[in-house]
Amino acid sequence: MSVDPTEDRSVSVLPDGLWTQPVADVPGGDGEDPVRRLTVPAAMRYDYTPGLAQSRFLRGLAEKKILGERCPVTGDVYVPPRGVSPVSGLRTTEQVEVGPSATITAFCVVHIGFGVNAPPTPFVSALFLPDGAAVSLYGTMGEVSHEDVRIGMRVEPVWVDDDQLTTSMENIRYWRPIDEPDVPADELKGHM
């Protein structure tokens, strides 16, 4: 894909012609070159803090544990927890270890990678319902052809080496199939 900055302004790395924009028609004054572009540095720095419940979750990940929290009314376990049950509006306090085995509740075969850390295409991004949890975690699949991935497939996380563990979702490199029968799709309703 060739881009001539005086003729065409590319705004993405998508295939030619898609999302490109024709050059602006800027009249010049007195034969001077028109001002076509203004560069204004724009950045805002935030120091993010995850809160009580997500801190507990992230500390668990550093020990290769997936920690959810239980709704005091329905008993459902939410992961990652945000500290409040979205159904009852009440604080979750009881921590519950879920997984590590999980079930695929939805997936997508990705053919266009973006971001510097994207796996080679095609790859599968999916929602993984850890055993014992009411909602799914996002991640990517490995050690399997995208053609073999299906809803209901049983999987497990593949962790980074122990000396690489931090308080981060990056601790899970990807998920891979395990040799267990598929979960019927009907049993996954409401758990995406």
Instruction: Considering only the stretches 4-12, 60-68, 77-85, 119-127, report the one whose residues sit in contact with another protein under the rule CB under 8 A.
Output: 77-85
- The reply on whether position 115 binds another protein by CB under 8 A is no
How far is Cα 83 from Cα 137, in angstroms, rounded to an integer? 16
Minimum CB distance to another protein smaller for 133 or for 141? 133
Smallest separation (angstroms) from another protein to the CB of 52: 6
Residue with tokens 């850390």: 117
Instruction: Considering only the stretches 16-24, 36-44, 106-114, 156-164, report the one whose residues sit in contact with another protein under the rule CB under 8 A.
Output: 36-44
- The reply on whether position 50 binds another protein by CB under 8 A is yes
Q: Which residue type is seen at 14?
A: L
Instruction: Considering only the stretches 12-20, 37-45, 138-146, 162-170, report the one whose residues sit in contact with another protein under the rule CB under 8 A.
Output: 37-45
- The reply on whether position 36 binds another protein by CB under 8 A is no
Minimum CB distance to another protein smaller for 31 or for 89? 89
Minimum CB distance to another protein smaller for 91 or for 150? 91
Smallest separation (angstroms) from another protein to the CB of 118: 20
CB 73 within 8 A of CB 89: no
How far is Cα 177 from Cα 152, in angstroms, rounded to an integer? 11
Minimum CB distance to another protein smaller for 50 or for 177? 50
- The reply on whether position 89 binds another protein by CB under 8 A is yes
CB 157 within 8 A of CB 100: yes
- The reply on whether position 48 binds another protein by CB under 8 A is yes
Residues 138-177 that bind another protein (CB under 8 A): none
Contact residues for another protein, defined by CB under 8 A: 38, 40, 44-55, 82-91
